[in-house]
Amino acid sequence: MWLLLLILIILLWVISVYNVIVAKRNNVDNAWAQIEVQLKRRHDLIPNLVKVAKGYLAYERETLENVIKARTQAMQAINIKDKETAENFLTSALRSLLFVVENYPDLKANQNMLKLQEEIISTENRIAFARQYYNDEVMRFNITIQQFPFCFVARMFCISKKELFKIEDSSQKEPPKVKL
Amino acid sequence: MAYSFVEIQKRKTYFIVFLTILLIIIYFATIWILWLAAKIYFVSVFMDFQNFPKKFFFPSFKENVILFIIAIKIALIHFFISSKNMSKKIFYILKAEPMDLSYLKHQQLKNIIDEVLIATGSSQIEGRVINTAFCNAFSTADFDGKVYIGVTEGLLSKLNRSQLEAVVAHEVAHIISGDCFYTTVVCSMFGIYEGFLERISENLVPIETVSGFITKSILYCIISFISALNNLVVSLLSQQREFRADAIAVKLTRNPLALAESLYIISKTWRGKSTASEAFSPLFIVETKDASEFSTHPPIEERINILMNMAHADHSVLEKMMENMYFRTGNIRKDTTPKIGGKTKTQKGWFIFKDNKWQGPFSFSELTQLNWLTGDHLICREGALTVKKACEDFDLISLFKPLHKEVSYKYSCPHCYHGLEELKYEWASTYRCPICKGILVSRSELNKILIREERSFSEEIFQQAEMVKKEKQERFRKIQQIHTPFVLNCPKCGKKMRRRLFSYEAPVEIDVCIWCDIFWFDAEELDIMQVLYDQNLNKDILLE
Ligand SMILES: [Zn+2]
Ligand SMILES: [Zn+2]
Ligand SMILES: [Zn+2]
């Protein structure tokens, strides 16, 4: 009788702990969804960007093609590791394109280009913020399932640690100048 | 983030109860004094004051209870009325408007708000813009949970992207910590009425008549009384909230230097002193009044110092940035790119970018035959280096005219009576005559044009501006000698417009209709005006 009660209590405890872990894991998943939304936003912007820039950048074929190639790769990537490398590649391709644009005053002054440039910078910032939020959630989750009572339950249900999403920090911020 | 939802709700309830009690006390004291005064007045006029029992004057217990109940009722009604549509009323007084997303800077503001929201994982915030030259930003929150962030047009033109992001993050921090709600409620209690009366007195006729003088002085007395009450309730707010918001903003953007820079820029410019915004000083990122014992914000230097410490940066960084900024506004707007293929030299033909390659050259008559050509096609003149859209080419506009022909003209030119075409000048709407190039613009749109720094001007405009400055004295003499200053008819209402100089600092000749508050600039005068405005050190004097 007492044994039954004890098993019942343990069972209830396990369920409650499991719920906490699942709630945290859902937070992580939501944060990841946010990153995917922003990455998709970036992928959707690129065809427009190429369309606007094409007319002006007749002699910069290579840069444009690089961007398109990087986009296709990024869209095909499935797991986090692949995404990391593909998105980093896309970031650098985009950066070199924006760098090239600086040399074409007409293109730089073009209203559509200015709008697209703003959208791209905004998207990069959104990705950075979404990643920041995701990584914070992952940290919280990982710490939770490593702690003493939680780690048993986590192991019982085969819940493993989540990976951080490392992407090159693409925001335009200058690093703060260090006082010497 | 910092607090749980339940905790915030609990604190809100305590706060509202506390504020209501304060209101009741204020009203009870006021009614008590009024009652006493009424009694004394009544007795001294109708009865023998000397022999009257003094005990009569002080309200009895029963009277006190009645007065107290009246005070509670008035206080509750006051609270109920004031707490409804708080943001809407504040926007009305500050003249804050929704963003115009076709203007890139406004789109940028919207983007930045959305970006910062992602970092917090919270819900929608709406943006508002105040069409004024002063530099400040504020946030409001309503009882129904709607939140807004407002930025002035002046601030938008002065800050770069990361600085603006820092300011938005500061306001978002107020919103997620719940501080914004308290500030809005407290400011709504008396600030709304102060601001409202302030706006009425702004629009009142100048003090020339005796009755005008009396109304103005009575209004002034009422405003000072309400302002005193406003200062009283506003002093409930803790100055700590600004440090807290600064800290959260840095946590969100990880960029303390940008926030320090923007605070520095705001502190060195006009922050909204002597406008209706003074009534809502606590709502803003930097207080609009001068610092005093009633300050609702901690000293700005202290905030900047904390942030500079976080950034491990020296104060000289800020001064350097400020110098660069003034250098930028002074010089970058000069268009130094040499004009290739100007209007005088007529090029033979045009290249057109179609199917991913350049085709042509085509002569003008050939172009008229091309039925696939649209205004959206990119074109390049033979021998020129510049590429532009076909509809932007000066000589080709006529080809695409039929598309715009259905548009009926709203106004016609006061000089040539041709219809005025709508023209977005720095994203403000103006009307331009295609023949004489004169521009019709309302005061609020002119405000935007002067504040924004989107256009650059040719060397000739700068030279003409120099001339105008040199001829200042002469111009003023001349304008006073005109016998008939009313020549042109207002394109809007048809009444005569007055010819005068815009202001002492910018003596550009304009025609103004005082009924519609609308200005007519002759060709290039608006450009010259902008150059003069930029060169003026305390340029904000020109506005408002
Ligand atoms: Zn603040
Ligand atoms: Zn005209
Ligand atoms: Zn008029």
Task: For residue B415, report the distance from its CA to the centre of ligand 2, in Å.
Answer: 5
> For an interface test with A, which of B118, B319, B353, B359 has the most A Cβ atoms less than 10 Å from its Cβ?
B118
For residues B54 and B121, state if they share a domain.
no
Instruction: Report the C-alpha gap between B418 and B429 in whole angstroms.
Output: 18
Q: Is A119 an interface residue toward B (CB < 8 Å)?
A: yes
**Tokens standing for residue B437:** 């190039």
- The dihedral through the CA atoms of B514, B516, B518, B520 has a sign that is negative
For residues B70 and B170, state if they share a domain.
no
**Tokens standing for residue A103:** 């040399």
Reported as a pLDDT band with limits 50, 70 and 90, residue B121 is low
Q: Which residue has the higher pLDDT, B370 or B307?
A: B307
Helices B525-535 and B315-331, axial angle in degrees (round to 10): 160
Task: For residue B348, give the CATH number of its domain.
Answer: 3.30.1490
CA-nearest of B381, A113, B337 to B390 is B381
Number of C-beta neighbours around residue A13 at 10 A = 12
| DSSP code string of B490-530 | PTTT-SEEEEEES-SSS--EEEEETTTTEEEE-TTHHHHHH
Reported as a pLDDT band with limits 50, 70 and 90, residue B415 is confident
Residue B81: the pLDDT is: 92
Could B388 and A176 be called an inter-chain contact, meaning their C-beta atoms sit closer than 8 Å? no
Task: For residue B174, report the distance from its CA to the centre of ligand 3, in Å.
Answer: 44
For residues B154 and B187, state if they share a domain.
yes
Alpha carbon of residue B515 to chain centroid: 23
CA diameter of chain B: 110
Instruction: Report the C-alpha gap between B429 and B441 in whole angstroms.
Output: 7
For residues B388 and B436, state if they share a domain.
no
Is A75 contained in some domain?
yes
Could A122 and B118 be called an inter-chain contact, meaning their C-beta atoms sit closer than 8 Å? no
The residue behind tokens 């705001």 is B266
Could B118 and A31 be called an inter-chain contact, meaning their C-beta atoms sit closer than 8 Å? no
The answer to whether B435 touches B416, Cβ cutoff 8 Å, is yes
Q: Is A121 an interface residue toward B (CB < 8 Å)?
A: yes
**Tokens standing for residue B467:** 């001339």
Could A172 and B313 be called an inter-chain contact, meaning their C-beta atoms sit closer than 8 Å? no
**Domain final residue, candidates B351, B377, B404:** B404
A107 contact residues in B (CB cutoff 8 A): 387
Q: What is the pLDDT of residues B191-247, one digit of tens each?
A: 899 888 888 877 765 656 777 778 888 888 888 888 888 888 888 788 888 999 999
For residues B367 and B230, state if they share a domain.
no
Instruction: Report the C-alpha gap between B286 and B337 in whole angstroms.
Output: 39
Residue B395: the pLDDT is: 63
For residues B242 and B347, state if they share a domain.
no
Q: What type of residue is B384? A: A
Give the count of domains, chain B. 4
* Angstrom distances, CA of residue A91 to CA of A56, A78, A155, A178, B108: 21, 18, 38, 27, 21
For residues B157 and B13, state if they share a domain.
no
**Distance from the B520 Cα atom to the nearest Cα atom in chain A, whole angstroms:** 27
**Distance from the A78 Cα atom to the nearest Cα atom in chain B, whole angstroms:** 23
**Tokens standing for residue B202:** 């702004």
What is the β-pairing status of strands B378-381 and B387-389?
antiparallel
Chain B residues interacting with chain A (CB cutoff of 8 angstroms): 104, 107-108, 111-112, 114-116, 118-119, 121, 161-162, 165, 252, 254-258, 311-314, 317, 337, 353, 356-358, 378, 386-388
Instruction: Report the C-alpha gap between B353 and B31 in whole angstroms.
Output: 79
Question: Which of A84-93, B404-413, B489-498 is least confident?
Answer: B404-413
Q: Which residue has the higher pLDDT, B141 or A154?
A: B141
Kindly identify the ligand whose nearest atom is closest to the C-alpha of B436: 2
Alpha carbon of residue B13 to chain centroid: 33
Number of C-beta neighbours around residue B543 at 10 A = 18
Instruction: Report the C-alpha gap between B382 and B360 in whole angstroms.
Output: 9
Give the count of domains, chain A. 1
Is A54 contained in some domain?
yes
Is B416 contained in some domain?
no
Is 0.85 exceeded by the ipTM? no
* Angstrom distances, CA of residue B386 to CA of B148, B168, B442: 43, 38, 34
- The dihedral through the CA atoms of A137, A142, A146, A150 has a sign that is positive
Instruction: Report the C-alpha gap between B91 and B150 in whole angstroms.
Output: 9
Could B162 and A173 be called an inter-chain contact, meaning their C-beta atoms sit closer than 8 Å? yes
For residues B141 and B51, state if they share a domain.
no
For residues B241 and B376, state if they share a domain.
no
Which residues make Cβ contacts (< 8 Å) with residue B349, sequence separation at least 6?
B360, B361, B362, B363, B366, B381, B382
Residue A153: the pLDDT is: 74
Is A36 contained in some domain?
no
**Distance from the B163 Cα atom to the nearest Cα atom in chain A, whole angstroms:** 10
Residue B386 domain boundaries:
342-404
For residues B144 and B165, state if they share a domain.
yes
Instruction: Report the C-alpha gap between B469 and B463 in whole angstroms.
Output: 10
Is B413 contained in some domain?
no
**Distance from the A2 Cα atom to the nearest Cα atom in chain B, whole angstroms:** 39
Residue A55: the pLDDT is: 75
Which residues make Cβ contacts (< 8 Å) with residue B279, sequence separation at least 6?
B93, B187, B191, B192, B194, B195, B198, B227, B230
What are the φ/ψ torsions at residue B126 (nearest 5 degrees)?
Answer: -95, 150
Instruction: Report the C-alpha gap between B415 and B491 in whole angstroms.
Output: 10
Number of C-beta neighbours around residue B208 at 10 A = 7
Query: pLDDT (tens digit, 0 to 9) for every residue of chain A, 180 residues total?
Result: 888 999 999 889 888 888 888 888 888 888 888 888 888 888 888 888 888 887 777 777 788 888 888 888 888 887 777 888 888 888 888 888 888 887 777 777 777 888 888 888 898 888 888 888 888 888 888 888 887 777 777 777 777 777 777 765 544 443 333 333
User: Which of B162, B255, B337 shows the shortest C-beta gap to A105?
Assistant: B337
A173 contact residues in B (CB cutoff 8 A): 162, 254-255, 258
For residues B305 and B282, state if they share a domain.
yes
Residue A132 domain boundaries:
47-172
Which residues make Cβ contacts (< 8 Å) with residue B329, sequence separation at least 6?
B453, B534
**Secondary structure element (H or E) that encloses residue B426, with its range:** none
Question: Which of A57-66, B52-61, B113-122, B431-440 is least confident?
Answer: B52-61
Average pLDDT, chain B: 81
For residues B180 and B316, state if they share a domain.
yes
pTM of the model: 0.77
Task: For residue A118, report the distance from its CA to the centre of ligand 3, in Å.
Answer: 39
Residues 53-112 of A with CB under 8 A from B: 54-56, 58, 105-107, 111
Is B152 contained in some domain?
yes
The answer to whether B79 touches B23, Cβ cutoff 8 Å, is yes
User: Which of A105, A119, A129 shows the shortest C-beta gap to B119?
Assistant: A129
CA-nearest of A98, A153, A102, A105 to A120 is A98
Q: Which residue has the higher pLDDT, B33 or B392?
A: B33
User: Which of A38, A118, A179 shows the shortest C-beta gap to B111?
Assistant: A118
What are the φ/ψ torsions at residue B73 (nearest 5 degrees)?
Answer: -60, -50
Is B499 contained in some domain?
yes
